[in-house]
């Protein structure tokens, strides 16, 4: 097992490459955990989650969670643990008025933000920034100013994703009460994470709705409002994205990949893949 811990002021970056490891009861800081290859299991707030390759998960500072890796192939992961004051100051710099920022920067009450905890794809600017941060740490950089800049951009990237995946989706729900919208979106996020964590298994609609504490019909209606697709369409898209990962990064035969990601029929997988990405799985590989 390779385990590298780097302190950046009061923030911390942990880079791990392991077949088997266990980290119990991590808490006290905001956390972004990401998986570059393989998968890791998490338990947080009574939920069992699995984070697969090229995804990341966010935890609030008050959330205690555990992380376990137990895999026949090496799992590469990175955790960014943010000091609460670093995040509060970042939030303050975004929300405080210009007059306060200029005239009375020290006396403004800095609130600790609370986010909807969820799994997101590791892609775009977030992936680019994280890979560069990892590269600098792997190379032994001790430039605290540069590393802090990468951490700030990590928060910038996360806020952009959060606005798109939570704030905008919450606004799309057809309820008058903001409190109701927030609660529905929170429950839908739990259901969405359950689908992502179990994408390669045979899961049923009733189980997903039960996890979200919603009736089946209410769940179907609100999920479509928030994500512009049905739960089944979302599950299919997750399976196809994971299939792309395996086609890119492994030598597994296509028929084996079909089984790994949860499709039952190779021909339907090839058809769905071609319709989604305009190339066949073989051409993509």
> Do 261 and 255 contact (CB within 8 A), yes or no?
no
The average confidence (pLDDT) of the chain is 92
Comparison of pLDDT for 25 and 208, the residue scoring more: 208
> Do 11 and 81 contact (CB within 8 A), yes or no?
yes
For 2-169, the fitting CATH number among 2.60.120.810, 2.102.10.10, 3.40.50.720, 1.10.3730.10 is 2.60.120.810
What is the mean pLDDT of the segment spanning 227-239?
96
| 4-8, 27-31, 79-83, range with the lowest pLDDT | 4-8
Helices (H), 8-138: 84-95, 98-103, 124-138
Q: How confident is the model at residue 255 (pLDDT cuts 50, 70, 90)?
A: very high
Question: pLDDT tens digit string along 162-205?
Answer: 999 999 999 999 988 999 999 999 999 999 999 999 999 999 99
Question: pLDDT tens digit string along 119-176?
Answer: 999 999 999 999 999 999 999 998 999 999 999 999 999 999 999 999 999 999 998 8
Look at the domain 234-284 and name its fold. Arc Repressor Mutant, subunit A (1.10.10)
Q: How confident is the model at residue 31 (pLDDT cuts 50, 70, 90)?
A: very high
Residues pairing with 121 in the sheet: 55
Give the span between the Cα atoms of 225 and 275, in whole angstroms. Answer: 24
pLDDT at 109: 57
Give the span between the Cα atoms of 64 and 29, in whole angstroms. Answer: 9
Residues in the chain: 285
Question: pLDDT tens digit string along 53-107?
Answer: 999 999 999 999 999 999 999 999 999 999 999 999 898 888 765 555 555 556 5
Which own/partner contact pairs does 187-190 have at CB distance under 8 Å and 24+ positions apart?
187/212, 187/213, 187/214, 188/212, 188/219, 188/222, 188/223, 188/226, 188/227, 189/116, 189/117, 189/118, 190/47
Give the span between the Cα atoms of 38 and 57, in whole angstroms. Answer: 15
**Residue 227 has which token pair?**
């994500």
pLDDT at 176: 86
């Amino acid at each position: 097992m390779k385990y590298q811990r780097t302190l950046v002021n009061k923030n911390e970056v942990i880079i791990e490459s392991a077949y088997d490891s266990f980290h119990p009861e991590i808490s006290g800081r905001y956390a972004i955990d990401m998986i570059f290859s393989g998968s890791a299991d998490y338990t947080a707030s009574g939920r069992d989650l699995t984070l697969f390759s090229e995804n990341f998960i966010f935890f609030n500072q008050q959330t205690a969670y555990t992380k376990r890796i137990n895999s026949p192939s090496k799992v590469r992961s990175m955790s960014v643990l943010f000091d609460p004051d670093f995040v509060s100051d970042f939030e303050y710099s975004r929300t405080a008025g210009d007059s306060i920022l200029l005239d009375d920067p020290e006396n403004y009450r800095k609130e600790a933000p609370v986010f909807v905890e969820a799994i997101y794809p590791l892609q775009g600017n977030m992936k680019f920034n994280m890979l560069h941060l990892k590269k600098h740490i792997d190379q032994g950089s001790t430039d605290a100013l540069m590393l802090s800049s990468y951490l700030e951009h990590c928060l910038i990237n996360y806020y952009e994703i959060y606005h798109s995946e939570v704030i905008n989706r919450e606004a799309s729900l057809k309820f008058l009460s903001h409190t109701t919208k927030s609660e529905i979106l929170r429950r839908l996020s739990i259901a969405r994470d359950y689908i992502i964590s179990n994408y390669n298994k045979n899961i049923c609609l009733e189980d997903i709705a039960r996890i979200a504490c919603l009736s089946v019909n209410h769940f179907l209606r609100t999920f479509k409002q928030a994500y512009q697709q049905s739960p089944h369409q979302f599950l299919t898209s997750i399976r196809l994205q994971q299939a792309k990962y395996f086609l890119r990064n492994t030598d597994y035969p296509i028929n084996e990949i079909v089984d790994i990601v949860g499709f039952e029929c190779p021909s339907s997988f090839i058809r769905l893949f071609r319709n989604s990405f305009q190339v066949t799985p073989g051409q993509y590989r």
